[in-house]
Structure 1
């Protein structure tokens, strides 16, 4: 009985040192194998649990690193510098011919032929078109006949007046009759003068059959063709036959802000640039100003004259006039460094401890890509370019490759 109990408990009997039951198979190797399997399972489970814990720890560490990196703000900055030399402002304008005018017909008729087309360069007096004027021709013929009739009446009135004067000397006629003949003679003279004036008017109208260029220039538009009915004048139903422009010199009008109006000097040379001619500047001259500030726009109209002997510049083209506004030393900052808040304009300055300081500034002149700052900054300050709206006072930032500010005017 005790042997069976020992066997069931895995204990060896004294009479069975090898752990074998008398007359049965050996159990020692089987138990040893089972123990090894159990130990291996326990080890694997422990390793799995340890790997899970380590993975979670590493994941949390990576998450903290990523969160910290995303929370860090990277910015580009520029260094405030002092601008020296002549200050200029770029003002847009449109080139115009020194003279630009529509050409109307001065007599009514039909277009018989046109002699010049768009782009043609003409001299003063060149024929642009010829008109057929049948009505004017008929009126001129009628006026010529009326003039001859008036001349004949004048001759008869003159003879009658002379005859009645001789009769009056012999008291053959009364003074009243002589006065009537003299009055008829004077009336005949007036009628002839009126007939002459009417005939000259119609001859002038007939001469307007030939539409002439009033000055040297280029034809910029042709609005008629052969057979078109033309009405005389420059209003109502009449239309312009051509448009003509004098292209040398050209003129351009710019509008100078009131703050710079007192700095404009008549006769001063100003550079004019055009995007179609990169790297090239044309020399213009300030020829005149309006002499008064426009109350609507608060600007001064300035006319700049521009030579164009080679015809490279075309009327209607867009140009930039670089207008000098004096010599001074000022602090300039890029326009994209400004932050506009309800309390006023600010710039985001990076302090020595890489903290953001939103500094109030006073803005002076606007040069386009840069502005003059009158107060709030100093030479050497680092300004953040394109600051985010979420940027706040005291934020920690990392600066990426600061570049010196350029005077982009």
Structure 2
């Protein structure tokens, strides 16, 4: 009798709890972050040889078409550069012929290498000249907007120096950062909305192009690239914008009250055979009143909703009610 009474006393002292039965529910989560606008393509024009500018045919801000002349170059300088490269190749070929008669394998190998380099340089100059030059003019290789000009008429330039920059802004890419907890909610091809931080432009529709597979440990964020049509010129490179991505799905929904340590290490108490067991969970989405779990729980699990104070893992509980979602 004493044993039975003692057990009854223990049961009566067990904390009273109200449970919530986890069930699958639809969620809609709005994700947002600030971003910067970048052109889809930007090219700094250069030439593999030195030369001199006769005239600048465009100005910053001009819209140009692929194949349009942007600089007129000094034809004497162009011919001189090609002649120098051709003479260098001819000299290397002549040296190779002389060395081959000597029978020295090392000298022959070095001469072959010298000739190959000279020939490659000359052919590269010819190819680049034929693709970018016409009638002594430098041609734009793509359509876009002139965003920088680094030379003036009469100025000499060195090989591979940047002469001007063309930016294709018909399509732009917005780089934005989202919190790591949103990682499972964003995917390539998802729709996004972009609007200027100043409110100067209407809301534009875009698509998630890339999820950069790298986290920033200082901000606990990851980077997402959103592409959008900008043929109307509503956005400019360098502009600050805001990105909004609507995520939808299905997960196990719980009231926020049932989640312990929501922001750092989310966990819940589930009850099995009148005992409470602490279980970590992963939160995929949240609203003002509910939290949605994608791992750590199963549909039908009974989660402690009321009575969490001072509850311990493995502790026996007294169930006084159960709610369903």
Instruction: Normalising by structure 2, report the TM-score.
Output: 0.54
Residue 280 to residue 106, structure 1, CA distance change in 2 (3 Å): same
**Equivalent position of 1:271 in the other structure:** 193
Indicate the residue corresponding to 1:241 in structure 2.
163
Q: Supply the distance in 1 between the matched residues of 2:72 and 2:210 (Cα, whole angstroms).
A: 39
1:124 equivalent in structure 2: 66
Cα contact 2:38–2:237 (8 A) shared by 1: yes
Distance in 2, matches of 1:104 and 1:143, equals 18
Q: Is residue 90 from structure 1 mapped to residue 17 from structure 2 by the alignment?
A: no
SS of alignment partner, residue 272 of structure 1: strand
RMSD: 4.5
How far apart, in 2, do the equivalents of 1:278 and 1:244 lie?
25
Deviations 1:335-367 (A, max 9, x none): xxxxxxxxxxxxxxxxxxxxxxxxxxxxx99x9
For the 8 Å contact 1:257–1:298, the answer to whether it is kept is yes
Superposition TM-score, scaled by structure 1 size = 0.44
> Deviation at 1:300?
1.6
Tell me, what secondary structure is at the counterpart of 2:181? Answer: helix
* Corresponding position of 2:213: 291
Partner SS, residue 261 of structure 1:
helix
The correspondence for 1:102, drawn from 27, 40, 44, is 44
- 2:172: which partner in 1? 250
Paired with 2:33 and 2:129, the residues of 1 have a C-alpha distance of 49
1:346 aligns with: none
CA distance in structure 1 between the partners assigned to 2:188 and 2:206 by the alignment: 11
How far 1:294 sits from its partner (Å)? Answer: 3.3
Equivalent-residue separation in structure 2 for 1:278 and 1:111 (angstroms): 40
Residue aligning to 2:150 = 223
Q: Which of the two has greater helix per residue?
A: 1
1:315 aligns with 2:242: no
Could you tell me which runs of 5 or more consecutive residues in structure 2 were left unpaired when the two chains were aligned.
Answer: 1-25, 102-107, 257-282, 292-325
Q: What per-residue deviation string (whole Å, max 9, x for no partner) do you get for residues 250-301 of structure 1?
A: 1001111111111102111111112455583100100111133234433221
Distance of 1:101 and 1:306 partners within structure 2: 20
Instruction: Determine if contact 2:62/2:146 at 8 Å carries over to the other structure.
Output: yes
CA distance in structure 2 between the partners assigned to 1:117 and 1:248 by the alignment: 19
> How many residue pairs end up in the alignment?
223
Q: Residue 185 of structure 2 aligns to a residue in which SS?
A: coil
- Per-residue CA shift, 1:91-143, capped at 9, x if unaligned? 11111100123222332122111111111112222222122264553454467
1:17-56 matches, cutoff 5 A: none
SS at match of 1:262: helix
Match of 1:232 in 2: 159
Structure 1 CA distance for aligned equivalents of residues 52 and 129 of structure 2: 13
Q: Residues 346-357 of structure 1: matches in 2 within 5 Å?
A: none
Task: Tell me the residue number matched to 2:310.
Answer: none
CA contact (8 A) 1:290 1:302 kept: yes
Partner of 1:336: none
Distance 1:266 1:284 in 2: 11
Q: Distance in 2 between matches of 1:232 and 1:86?
A: 56
Is the contact made by 2:146 and 2:164 (CA closer than 8 Å) also made in structure 1?
Answer: yes
Ranges in structure 1 where 5+ consecutive residues have no aligned partner: 1-83, 158-179, 181-186, 332-363, 376-409
Write out per-residue CA displacement over residues 290-337 of structure 1, whole angstroms, 9 at most, x where no aligned residue: 133234433221110011122222222111101224478988xxxxxx
Does the 8 A contact of 1:266 with 1:286 survive in 2?
Answer: yes
The CA distance in 2 between the partners of 1:86 and 1:303, in whole Å, is 21
Q: Could you tell me how far apart the structure 2 residues matched to 1:279 and 1:140 are?
A: 50
Helix, strand or coil at the partner of 2:236: coil
Greater RCO, CA 8 A, separation 6+: 2
